[in-house]
Amino acid sequence: MTSCTAAAPGPLASPASPSPRSHPRRHPTLGLLRHLLPYWRRLLPAALAAAGSDLAGAALMATASWLITRAAEQPPLASVSLAIVAVRALALGRGALRYTDRLLGHDGVLRAVAGFRTRVYEGLVPLAPAGTLAFRGGDLLTRLVDDVDAAQDLLLRVLIPVAAACAVAAAATGTAMALLPQAGVLLGLLLAVAGLLVPALVLALSRRTGRTEKAARAELAALTVDLTRGAADLAAYGARGRTHDRARRAASRIAALERRGALTTSLASAVVLLCQGAATAGVTWLALRAHADGALPAVRLTVLAVLALVAFEALVPLPAAARRLAEVRVSARRLADVLDAPPPVTEPLDPAPLPTEGPVGVEITGLRVRHHPDAPPALQGVSLRLPPGRRIVLVGASGSGKSTLIAALMRFVPYEAGSIRVAGRELRDCAGADVRGLITGMTQDAHVFHATLRANLLLARPGASEAELRVAARRARILEWIEGLPDGWDTLVGGDGATMSGGQRQRLLLARALLADPPVLVLDEPTEGLDPDTAADVLADILDATRGRTTLLVTHERSGLAGADAVVTLDRARH
């Protein structure tokens, strides 16, 4: 019989499980921009088109006013023909540029966001499963959907309008300066108040509400998942009302914060309009004075007045852009929590190759595993030998670390001391994917996907033939049930096998593990949920089906194990 033995603890090798960052990153928005930077070739023309469209609008108004004023002087047609052409060109160009801005902007932004979303998913893959436990399910979903969408708003609703506003403000101030310097100074000052000061105030006021609102949204998403996934338990223990109330309170908080945000933006927009009025009146007054002094011709006076009026049009979206920027900053920080979380298992830089064919043996010596750096070890000094082609059954009290041992074997959690050697290689020197190509099977929290029975099985071996599917299902004693269903293998099983009984679900998971057919098969509680007689029969079948294959079978059952090569007890008191 193989035995589990105690060994002296070694030094802490690597962190066991990450948690979301608690310290704020300094420039999360810049980090977000860095991910979007590769798309600048598509985004820059959109920003230029947006700025060009707003510039064309302002130039159109200024040229048209010049033309009307000049026409009142009844000049020769030739002297205004250029302005007539300019008005037509600007009117047409403005529309064309607006269309180009929308087309290129959305095309570029959607591509950038699609690329970024993929990047976020890629960042999430090495965290799963141990590293994602720190995030609540609904909250993680919000980060992947809402927070990634914030990248879209950063480009479309913040950066592009800001670029357009800067271009128009600079052009209007420059033109006014050239026509009448004091009017240019006044216009520049009021544009700075409306375009810099007001949005900066909105940004400062929205910072706190943005954080609180995002937290309330995450809370609501997590509660929604609890209310749907845990509906039966909440109803069974009379907790549905309380959870509904919490969700309602979160929704009311969100509504109140949205109202406050809308009020801030509206007041800021009113200030922009006031600045616009003040600039128009002030510039016109200065221009009138200069005209009265004979220093400014009438046509320029009109141009200045109109310019002051239209220059602010491009600034109107800025308060809303500032509010959105505050929300984007919160989203960027939440995404950084996911993207910067260290993976629970560090991949080796130069992974050692592993065999893909069996039989292979596994040698575990003095293993220590901790799920969190500050948690007590879940395994301490555990040694176990899985000889090639032998079937070892692991039993032990609840919490003794059986599932942790399987997670360590599959490289889902790191081991901080001791060794796991497979085919002469140390497991921490091998790539996680290679390890799971060699050692895999049924984990404790194995998931049934909302798909057909066939698709759920094919996950383990996409190229499996119909005959192989049937053999695996027969061994797991589920073939008869599947073939008796109206839709047979094409039956949809619902989220996490909702339409199956606990035993059927468990047998489907077992069939999937048997179909995978890895060199080292691990099975964590494959008979959980089955009645004792069936469990004993299924265990006997498993041991029969895995003859000659290196197998580690974790179970609480004591019968049906006669076919095992060894039964090992994992004793928490001993490790």
CA distances from 467 to 59, 411, 463, 479, 557 (A): 74, 31, 12, 11, 30
Instruction: Let me know: does 456 contact 448? Beta carbons within 8 Å.
Output: yes
Minimum distance between the CB of residue 404 and ligand ATP, rounded to whole angstroms? 3
Q: Under the criterion CB under 6 A, does residue 317 sit at the interface with ligand ATP?
A: no
Instruction: Let me know: does 519 contact 483? Beta carbons within 8 Å.
Output: no
Token reading at 249: 């309170």
Minimum distance between the CB of residue 402 and ligand ATP, rounded to whole angstroms? 4
Nearest 5 degrees, angle CA 44-CA 330-CA 133?
115
- Name which of 402 and 477 has its Cβ closer to ligand ATP: 402
- The neighbouring-strand residues paired with 204 are none
- The neighbouring-strand residues paired with 553 are 393, 523
- Name which of 317 and 526 has its Cβ closer to ligand ATP: 526
Which SS3 state, helix, strand or coil, does residue 465 take?
Answer: coil
Return the closest-CA partner of residue 133 out of 438, 495, 407: 407
417 Rama sector, left if φ>0, alpha if ψ -120 to 50, beta otherwise: beta
Residue 372 dihedral angles phi and psi, to the nearest 5°: -135, 150
- Name which of 265 and 380 has its Cβ closer to ligand ATP: 380
User: For residue 71, how many other CB atoms are within 10 A of its CB?
Assistant: 14
Minimum distance between the CB of residue 1 and ligand ATP, rounded to whole angstroms? 19
Minimum distance between the CB of residue 572 and ligand ATP, rounded to whole angstroms? 8
Sites for ligand ATP among residues 73-132 (CB under 6 A) = none
Minimum distance between the CB of residue 129 and ligand ATP, rounded to whole angstroms? 9
- Name which of 7 and 134 has its Cβ closer to ligand ATP: 134
- Name which of 311 and 338 has its Cβ closer to ligand ATP: 338
- Name which of 398 and 465 has its Cβ closer to ligand ATP: 398
Minimum distance between the CB of residue 403 and ligand ATP, rounded to whole angstroms? 3
Which listed residue (68, 89, 120, 133) binds ligand ATP by CB under 6 A? 133
Sites for ligand ATP among residues 346-405 (CB under 6 A) = 371-372, 375, 378, 396, 398-404
- Name which of 400 and 456 has its Cβ closer to ligand ATP: 400
Minimum distance between the CB of residue 429 and ligand ATP, rounded to whole angstroms? 24
- Name which of 4 and 543 has its Cβ closer to ligand ATP: 4
Three-class SS string for 337-387?
Answer: HHHCCCCCCCCCCCCCCCCCCCCCCEEEEEEEECCCCCCCCCEEEEEEEEC
- Name which of 133 and 316 has its Cβ closer to ligand ATP: 133
- Name which of 84 and 133 has its Cβ closer to ligand ATP: 133
Minimum distance between the CB of residue 392 and ligand ATP, rounded to whole angstroms? 15
CA distances from 411 to 348, 520, 568 (A): 12, 14, 22
Minimum distance between the CB of residue 344 and ligand ATP, rounded to whole angstroms? 10
The Cα 99–Cα 22 span in angstroms is 44
Instruction: Let me know: does 384 contact 408? Beta carbons within 8 Å.
Output: no
The Cα 75–Cα 141 span in angstroms is 67
The Cα 568–Cα 573 span in angstroms is 14
Minimum distance between the CB of residue 464 and ligand ATP, rounded to whole angstroms? 29
Minimum distance between the CB of residue 378 and ligand ATP, rounded to whole angstroms? 3
- Name which of 226 and 524 has its Cβ closer to ligand ATP: 524
HSE-up of residue 326 (Cα within 13 Å, Cβ side): 25
- Name which of 16 and 314 has its Cβ closer to ligand ATP: 16
Is residue 129 reached through a cis peptide bond, with omega within 30 degrees of 0 on the bond before it?
A: yes
| Binding mask of the shown chain, residues 267 to 286, with x at each position contacting ligand ATP by CB under 6 A | --------------------
- Name which of 55 and 406 has its Cβ closer to ligand ATP: 406
The Cα 489–Cα 497 span in angstroms is 14
Residue showing tokens 């000094």: 381
The Cα 479–Cα 477 span in angstroms is 6
User: For residue 444, how many other CB atoms are within 10 A of its CB?
Assistant: 13
Token reading at 316: 């109107």
Minimum distance between the CB of residue 407 and ligand ATP, rounded to whole angstroms? 7
The Cα 346–Cα 10 span in angstroms is 18
Sites for ligand ATP among residues 399-438 (CB under 6 A) = 399-404
Q: What is the total count of residues that contact ligand ATP (CB under 6 A)?
A: 14
Minimum distance between the CB of residue 552 and ligand ATP, rounded to whole angstroms? 12
Which parts of this chain interact with ligand ATP (CB under 6 A)?
133, 371-372, 375, 378, 396, 398-404, 444
